Amino acid sequence: MEVYVINALRELSDAEFENALSKVDSGQRERIMRYRFMEDRKRGLVGVLLSKYAISKAFGIPANEIIFEKNKYGKPHVVGGSGVHYNISHSGDYVVCAVGESPVGIDVQEIKDGSLDVVDRFFSKEEKEVLAMTGEEARRDLFCEIWSLKEAYIKCIGMGLSKPLDEFGVVKKDGEYRLIVNGEWSKDYHFHKYDIDEKYSLCVCSQEAGFPTETEYVKLEDLYLT
């Protein structure tokens, strides 16, 4: 598995955006242009280009031969690419992509102040217990970490928010993040958190255990080569 990171969205000028947009297919162009704000359009476009870059590098498929389709919950995959797994996430300045030979889910999110009210509705019993035992100062970071781990999991299984978030938990056990469903610990999914930026949380979930120790930073110009 590899994890690719781009944090150069601010360097993507509007003119470069137009040029790069012309390199993706018309379906993707329409989807990207449906976003109201330019920032979202740029994240969407860089997401497509980074996916192609990562899949091409990992599996040797020429980028212009990679076509995406979505499952019924919206998770994209490569047409005809059995054994090719990837997932992307975007937030703030970052677009990230994980690629590997097993189902994978990735989540990056900007850590923002706000209420932790959602804990009651969306966190499992075990997650609530861990949060309750955590001091006030560390609680927000832990909340964001758990939220990001949960998102990575629902994206790995491909169900997105159709999977009720309180039905499972991801908490640390013996120093490792573990999935717990109805009080039963599962060994089927593995989790990894990367410290890329103190203002962001980045988590990956996969059915394979071999996470790279470091993420790989990609430059905007690398994407135009695909």
Ligand X SMILES: CC(C)(COP(=O)(O)OP(=O)(O)OC[C@H]1O[C@@H](n2cnc3c(N)ncnc32)[C@H](O)[C@@H]1OP(=O)(O)O)[C@@H](O)C(=O)NCCC(=O)NCCS
- Site residues for ligand X per CB under 6 A: 44, 47, 73-76, 87-91, 105, 107, 151, 154-155, 158-162
Backbone angles phi, psi at 184, to 5 degrees: -105, 130
Nearest to ligand X of 86, 211 (CB atom): 86
Task: Give the DSSP H/E element, type plus range, for residue 23.
Answer: none
Shortest Cβ distance from residue 60 to ligand X (Å)? 22
Own/partner long-range contacts of 197-200 (Cβ < 8 Å, ≥24 apart): 197/7, 197/94, 198/111, 199/92, 199/110, 199/111, 200/91, 200/92, 200/94, 200/108, 200/109, 200/110, 200/111
Closest-CA residue to 61 (of 204, 226, 175, 208): 226
Nearest to ligand X of 69, 129 (CB atom): 69
Q: Give the C-alpha separation, 218 to 46, whole Å.
A: 11
Nearest to ligand X of 155, 192 (CB atom): 155
Shortest Cβ distance from residue 89 to ligand X (Å)? 3
Shortest Cβ distance from residue 19 to ligand X (Å)? 19
Shortest Cβ distance from residue 50 to ligand X (Å)? 10
Nearest to ligand X of 64, 162 (CB atom): 162
Find where tokens 């309750």 sit.
132
Shortest Cβ distance from residue 5 to ligand X (Å)? 13
Nearest to ligand X of 52, 75 (CB atom): 75
- The residue at minimum Cβ distance from ligand X is 160
Give the list of residues 6+ apart from residue 32 with CB closer than 8 angstroms, or none.
21, 24, 41, 44, 45, 48
Task: Kindly state the tokens that stand for 25.
Answer: 């297919």
